Amino acid sequence: MFKKLKKFGKELVEEFQNDDVPVLASSQAYYYLLAIFPMVILILSLLPYFSIDTERVMSFISNNVPGDTASMIRENVVSVVEKPSGGLLTIGILGTLWSASNGVNAFIKAANIAYNVEETRSFIKVRLISIALTLGMIVAIVVAIMLPVFGDVIITFVTDLLRLPDSTVILFQVLRWVISIVVMAGVLMALYHIAPNEKIPFKSIIPGALATAVLWQLISLLFSFYISNFGNYSATYGSLGGIIILMLWFFLTGIILMVGAEINVITSRHRQSKHG
């Protein structure tokens, strides 16, 4: 078992170096930065219709976005959440969705390099795939917001109605977070399956999707801890500190996504050699 893991790790390092993953992650980070604000506007324009408290939204953002980035966008978040705008929603759906899909489009190009395939699909098909995957990510993010926000209300209602013991309540508390992670893993599996111009069986995608989900949570937690305790970017760069932190976070996200893709490539290669 140890020898297999060692061999797998060696192959992963080789793929990481051969595909120059840090360069691919850097290009993704640039497009993610351009795409994040249109996506945030699009998501936030939906939230007022669900009567979600502004502070809960900010709490979710603060827990999932590193450093001073949350405070940097706080004014815009409050404005959009507290004042529903049909016009903004229409513009968001028609206009910003195209911009938001640029991030996924960058990942598609990087995934093709990881999978060692050329892009033969038409520009329109690739863009439609990018938009569809972007919509899937938006749904996953909304679910991730809704479950923590409405989870307590649902659990309290069910507990009072059925008079459940404390152990069952704890189980429900864990379950809502599990559902959120499952939704995220599902979106990642779709991303790894559809994005590259190479159809890999879902069995070969599961390891990379799970590794990405776990690594992303871990890296985000460690990066937030580092920024909060050691990296005082705001003191050095002033108002640009939030942007720099966001770029670094996107860079790490790009690396993690590519590591997941490389894991899928190696897993698929082993399956083919085993059954070939």
Return the pLDDT at 212.
87
For residues 24 and 254, is the Cβ–Cβ distance under 8 A? Answer: yes
Asked whether residue 31 carries a pLDDT value surpassing 70, the answer given is: yes
Condensed to tens digits (0 to 9), the pLDDT of residues 45-94 reads 666 665 556 566 666 666 655 555 555 556 656 665 555 555 555 555 66
Q: How confident is the model at residue 134 (pLDDT cuts 50, 70, 90)?
A: confident
Per-residue pLDDT tens digits for 196-245: 888 777 888 888 888 888 888 788 777 777 766 765 655 666 666 667 77
Radius of gyration of the chain (CA): 20
| pLDDT category of residue 255 using cuts at 50, 70 and 90 | very high
Widest CA span in the chain: 59
Average per-residue pLDDT for the chain = 75
Torsion of CA 117, 121, 127, 130, to 10 degrees: -40
Per-residue pLDDT at 14 exceeds 80: yes
Give the phi and the psi of residue 14 in degrees, each rounded to 5: -65, -45
Could you identify the residue written with the tokens 């009567």? Answer: 51
pLDDT of residue 275: 66
pLDDT at 64: 58
- Structure-model confidence comparison of residues 238 and 175, the more confident one: 175
From residue 228, give the alpha-carbon distance in Å to each of 73, 127, 217, 221, 232.
18, 38, 16, 11, 7
The whole-model pTM stands at: 0.73
3-class DSSP state of 148: helix
Answer with the residue of higher pLDDT: 272 or 208: 208
Task: Check whether 149 has a pLDDT greater than 70.
Answer: no
Neighbour count for residue 242 (Cβ, 10 Å)? 21
> Could you give the CA distance from residue 93 to residue 78 in angstroms, rounded to a whole number?
20
Confidence of residue 259 (pLDDT cuts 50, 70, 90): very high
**Residues whose CB is less than 8 angstroms from the CB of residue 111 and which lie 6 or more positions away in sequence, other chains included:** 192, 195, 196, 261
Q: For residue 133, what pLDDT band results from cuts at 50, 70 and 90?
A: confident
